[in-house]
Amino acid sequence: MSGTSATPSSGPVKALHLGSGAPLLLLHGFLLSPHCWEQTAARLAARCEVFAPALAGHWGGPEFSDDDYTVPTIADRVEAQLDDLGWRTCHIAGNSLGAWVGFELARRGRARTLTAIAPAGGWRTPSAAQLYAAAKFIALTPLIEFGRKLGDFPTDSRVVRRAVAHLLVRNVEDVPRADIANQIRAALHCPALRPLVAATLRGPGLADMSELNTPVRLILADSDRFLPAQTYGRRFLRELPESADRIMMRRAGHVPMLETPERVANLIAEHIYASRDHLRAV
């Protein structure tokens, strides 16, 4: 393991790196950090070599240029890390922004399989869905900038922790206090907030997915309060190849790894091994 321990830490993490076996890349969502994968990664490490980096511009991640901050440039940084590991290809699981980056890496031929969990980027440009997604992040901007001035108050406050948890998960009581505190710290230490909102407004969403050759498992959450599946899952359901798995997680929110890590680990592992054995998972 590199960059952290099996127990949740409270400082920035450049990457989680643990386990042995099939190479597996885990990508976190916007404003978050590798901390959100800690419990899931620990379960997958029994069968995979797991690498979960901090994305560029996020807490613990590489620096970035404000003028060139887009999903393809984030993917460039991740691809360079894969090269450093000697991973020509790997299995990829991503959540939200991380899933969007995962689709970009799949187009580049770097993904053996892709598990996309509550993926972002499934909007047309321009569209009401695109503007609504950007508006949500714009609304968070003053709150995050104010929170940066309050020291430890945002992570120590039970009210703040519950409000943040409510955005990320369905079952707030199922998420340990330390895990939510780390997501708050990640948001407060994410300089990419404004550049990525701008990129969301001016740039395109995902390119057409119908020709993807990578085995894809799409996982939507029925209680996603941030990118509701009814709106942001439609294009994925429509465009992904018929061979792609389409799963609706019940009683789960936008970042299900925080509230049900074992369930998410099982869904990722099932997809990896079904594809390896040329079987289709149900």
Of the residues 17, 35, 91, 254, only one is catalytic, namely 254
Residue 68 pLDDT class (50, 70, 90 cuts): confident
CA 108 – CA 104 distance, rounded (Å): 7
3-state secondary structure labels for all residues of 94-129: EECHHHHHHHHHHHCCCEEEEEEECCCCCCCCCCHH
From 224, 245, 271, 275, active-site residue: 224
Q: Given this model, what pLDDT does residue 275 score?
A: 75
What local confidence, expressed as pLDDT, does residue 9 receive?
65
pLDDT surpassing 60 at residue 37: yes
Report how far residue 46's alpha carbon sits from residue 29's, in angstroms, rounded to the nearest whole number. 24
pLDDT surpassing 90 at residue 28: yes
Quick one: pLDDT at residue 65? 75
Is residue 224 flagged as an active site residue?
A: yes
Structure tokens at 102: 């995962």
- Contact, 108 vs 79, CB < 8 A? yes
| pTM across the whole model | 0.94
Which tens digit of pLDDT belongs to each residue from 123-181? 988 899 999 998 988 999 999 999 999 999 999 999 999 999 999 999 999 999 999 99
pLDDT at 125: 84
The residue assigned the tokens 């199922």 is 174
| CATH superfamily of the 15-276 domain | Alpha/Beta hydrolase fold, catalytic domain (3.40.50.1820)
Residue 106 pLDDT level (bands cut at 50, 70, 90) = very high
From the candidates 33, 96, 271, 275, which is the catalytic residue? 96
Domain ranges of the chain: 15-276
pLDDT band per the 50, 70, 90 thresholds, residue 29:
very high
